[in-house]
Amino acid sequence: MKVEVKKSADYSVARQPIWCPGCGDYGILEALKRALATLSIPNEDVVVVSGIGCSSQLPHFLKTYGIHGIHGRAIPIATGVKLANPKLHVIVVGGDGDGYGIGLNHMIHAARRNVGVTYIVSNNQVYGLTTGQTSPTTLRGVKTKTTPWGSIDEPVNPLTLALAAGATFVARGFSGDVQHLVELFTEAISHKGFALVDVLSPCVTFNKVNTYEWFRARVYKLDNHNAADYLEAYRRALEWPTLSPTGRIPIGLFYRSKKPTYEEEISRL
């Protein structure tokens, strides 16, 4: 059967996003459409599941099946969809508050089970929808509405958590580099198993610290990195301005491995 060649416009809808001008979520949406087009996946074979938050509105702006779920519960919904029809490409989208706060336990268990879903997290280090409170990834010392004297919490490191939980695909991107995101999303969607892509995605309205300029001065691509080396992936995942003297942030594919997916294991029962 001949595969229809797709364009990113084939995944667009008439409704325009309502994010703030300059929001990093625009880059994520565009990169996801281009990745789906690169793979020429039929629209009806894609299900995008989200939780609650600014980025969780994304299913409304894609011409695919979508489920706008509840706060922190997008992964359980996506797991049910994948188990019901393993042939579908199931993509989960959400923010750092939704995924690394309320929903963190679900990410860990989906990773250890190797559920075949792609998890894209818009990480802006703040709760944007509720107007700027500290989130699980807010850096120490950053002042927000809930930390007026500066956050005293150590930020969550989603990459090391995913690696420790057994995720078989772990990557990080930057919404200011859409083409690089397209490459990461394409690989993640093609991966058999649980794939996490943490996306550094500035909130231009409520986070005046982690701006596009702040990230551009620090991010660098993981060139000549062996993504099959688990210990090296973990070491590179520890690189962060508050944790590493280099003050740099690596982006790219950190780790990839193969093992049976959860849905494959269930089919053998």
CATH of 19-267, one of 3.40.1280.10, 3.40.50.720, 3.40.50.970, 3.90.660.20: 3.40.50.970
β-pair type (118-123, 65-68): unpaired
Confidence of residue 2 (pLDDT cuts 50, 70, 90): low
- Residue 252, beta-bridge partner list: 172
Confidence of residue 6 (pLDDT cuts 50, 70, 90): confident
Q: What SS3 state is found at 233?
A: helix
224's CB contacts (< 8 A; 6+ apart) are none
DSSP 148: T
End-to-end CA distance of the chain: 32
Structure tokens that stand for 211 in this block: 């701006």
| pLDDT of 194 | 98
Is 243 within 8 Å of 234 (Cβ atoms)? no
Q: With residue 142 as reference, give the H or E element that holds it.
A: none
Q: Read off the pLDDT of each residue in 181-186 and give the average, rounded to a whole number.
A: 98
Domain ranges of the chain: 19-267
- Any idea how long the chain is? 269
- Residue 264, beta-bridge partner list: none
Reported as a single tens digit per residue, the pLDDT across 190-247 is 999 999 999 999 999 999 999 999 999 999 999 999 999 999 999 999 998 776 666 8
Reported as a single tens digit per residue, the pLDDT across 35-79 is 999 999 999 999 999 999 999 999 999 999 999 999 889 999 999
DSSP 235: H
| pLDDT of 205 | 95
CA angle 138, 142, 145 (to 5 degrees): 90
CA angle 132, 137, 140 (to 5 degrees): 85
Reported as a single tens digit per residue, the pLDDT across 111-120 is 999 999 999 9
| pLDDT of 186 | 98
| pLDDT of 244 | 63
Higher pLDDT: 90 or 6? It is: 90
Nearest to 197 by CA among 218, 168, 239: 168
